[in-house]
Amino acid sequence: MSENPKDTAVTLPAQSDGATLTKDAAPGETLLKVTGLQKHFPIKKGLLQRQVGAVHAVDGIDFEVRAGETLGVVGESGCGKSTMGRLITRLLEPTGGKVEFEGKDITHLGVSGMRPLRRDVQMIFQDPYSSLNPRHTIGTIVGAPFRLQGVEPEGGIKKEVQRLLSVVGLNPEHYNRYPHEFSGGQRQRIGIARALALNPKLVVADEPVSALDVSIQAQVVNLLDDLQQELGLTYVIIAHDLSVVRHVSDRIAVMYLGKIVELADRESLYRAPMHPYTKALMSAVPIPDPRRKNAKSERILLKGDVPSPISPPSGCRFHTRCWKATQICKTTEPKLVELKPGQQVACHHPENFEDQAPQDTVLLTIAKEAAELVADEVLAESAETSAAVAAEVAEIEAEAAAEEPAEAAPAAESGNPETAGEK
Ligand SMILES: Nc1ncnc2c1ncn2[C@@H]1O[C@H](COP(=O)(O)OP(=O)(O)OP(=O)(O)O)[C@@H](O)[C@H]1O
C-alpha cells in the first residue's frame, strides 16, 4: 500500500447529494465565526455531587475561519485546543458565547437542527488507534457517515468508499480489512477518508499527526494539503507545537490557558512574533539554518507547567511564566487587539512592537526568575526590536506633530480674537 499521497490522483467526490456539495461561502469569506466562546467543565464533589468549581478550558475566545484557508491552532497541552475543536464541531455544548457557521447561529442547535451541519463539519482525531472501531472493517468505518445520514451515493456505498480509499492513498481492494492490519499512517488515512465521505466544508483536525512516526507525519500533512487544494476544503488544524502547522497554515492562533494570545497570518507570526509566549513556542522549534550553526542556543525555556485552568492567574494568564511581566500584567487582562494589520495580540509588553504600557517598568520578581531561563541574546534582541519600533513610532508622531501647526496656523491667525489685537 502506498504511503505516498503524491502517488494518488485526487478526484472530486461523486455528486451524491446536491445539498452537501454547495460551497456557499466564497474563498476568503467567513465560514465560521466564534464570539466570546466559553467552556467551563463543572467540578463536582461529595454524595450530592455539588459543584465546587470549574475547569476554565476555553474562556472567551473570538476568531473566524475563512473559506478555503487553514487556521492552525497551537498551544501547550491543556490549553483548551481540543475543547475548542469540539465546541466548533458542536460535539460539546458551549457554556457561553456564540458559534456561527455560514452566518447561521449554531451555538445551541438541537439534534435535528445539527443534522445538516454534521455533513458540513467533520473532525479528524488525534489517535488513529483508538478512533477506529477494531471490530469493523474499514469499508464499514468509512461508509458509516453515509448510513448515519441516510445518504445513498451514486453507484452505491461500496463503490464510493473504495473511491475515497484511493483518494487518500489506500488500496481500495483492502475494503474488507480491519484497522489492526494497517500502520499508524494508514489508519490516519482511513480517518481522513471517513471525514471526507460526506464532502464537508470544514474539517477540524485535532493533532492529526502527533501519534505518528515523524517520517510519516509529513506524508499525512502533505495529503491534507493536497486534498485541500483539490477539494477546496477549509481546515482548522490543532497541534501542540508549531512544527506541524507552520507549513500548512495560512493563519495561526496561539492559545494559552483557554485564551487566544496571538492570532496572525503565518508570515507575520514567523517574521515577528508579538506575544512572548509565541516567541517561546517558536524558539522550541528547531529551524535548520546553516548560518545559525555556530550561534549560541536561543531557546527560551518556560518556567514550570501551565497553571491550573481551575483558577487561572489574574490579569494576563501568562504573567506567571513571562520574563517581561510587570504589575499591570498581574492586575489587568490585556485584550486581543490588532496591533499590526493581520496580527492580533493580547499583551501589555509585546515583542517587536511598541510597549503598550511603557509607564509600567518594574519587573515582577517572578519575571526576573523567568528571565534567567531566557538566553541573553533573546533578551537583548527583544529590547532592541521594541526600542526600534518605539523609535519608529516616535518619529511618525513627531512628523505628524510637525505637520499639524502648519495646517492649524491659518485658522488661528484669522479666527482667534484674543490674539488678533497682538498683531
Ligand atoms: N470532559 C472534561 N471534563 C473536565 N475537564 C476537562 C474535560 N475535557 C477537558 N478538560 C480539561 O480542560 C482543559 C483543556 O483540555 P483540552 O483537552 O481542551 O486541552 P488541549 O490543549 O487540547 O490539551 P491536549 O493537547 O493535552 O489534549 C484541561 O485542563 C483538561 O483537563
Write the pLDDT tens digit of every residue in 195-207.
999 999 999 999 9
- Residue with the bigger pLDDT between 421 and 239: it is 239
Give the sheet arrangement for strand 30-45, strand by strand.
Answer: 50-66, 30-45, 96-101, 104-105
Residue 12 has pLDDT above 70, yes or no: no
Query: What's the rounded Cα separation, in Å, for the pair 407 and 405?
Result: 5
Q: What is the pLDDT of residue 21?
A: 36
Same domain, residue pair 302 and 225: no
Is pLDDT of 140 > 90?
yes
Question: Which residues share a beta bridge with 300?
Answer: 374
The predicted structure's pLDDT at residue 405 = 59
244 & 303 share domain:
no
User: Percent of the chain beyond pLDDT 70?
Assistant: 86
Question: Which of 49, 52, 55 to mutate to test ligand 1, by most ligand atoms within 8 A of the CB atom?
Answer: 55
Tens digit of each residue's pLDDT (9 = 90 or more) over 374-418: 877 777 877 777 777 777 777 777 887 787 655 444 444 433 433
Per-residue cell: 22: 454547495
- Quote the domain boundaries for residue 165: 11-249
Q: Considering the domain boundaries, does residue 399 fall inside one?
A: yes
Give the pLDDT confidence score for residue 291 in this predicted structure: 53
Closest ligand 1 atom, residue 238 Cα: 22
Domain check: are 57 and 194 in the same one? yes
The pLDDT, as a whole number, for residue 129 is: 76
User: Do 79 and 165 share a structural domain?
Assistant: yes
The model carries a pTM of 0.84
Q: What is the pLDDT of residue 234?
A: 96
Whether 2 is covered by a domain: the verdict is no
Q: How far is CA 68 from CA 31, 33, 201, 408, in A?
A: 9, 14, 9, 49
Write out pLDDT tens, residues 251-274: 999 999 999 999 999 999 998 999
- pLDDT tens figures, 356-383: 998 988 889 888 888 877 877 777 877 7
214 and 309 in a common domain = no
Ligand 1, atom 1, residue with closest C-alpha: 41
Q: Has residue 420 been placed in a domain?
A: no
The position carrying cell 502506498 is 2
- Measured from the Cα of 75, ligand 1's closest atom is 21
The residue whose CA is least distant from atom 26 of ligand 1 is 77
Residue 338 has pLDDT above 90, yes or no: yes
Number of domains, the chain: 2
Please check whether residues 324 and 178 belong to one and the same domain: no
CA–CA separation, 74 and 281 (whole Å):
9
The pLDDT tens digits for 92-102 are 999 999 999 99
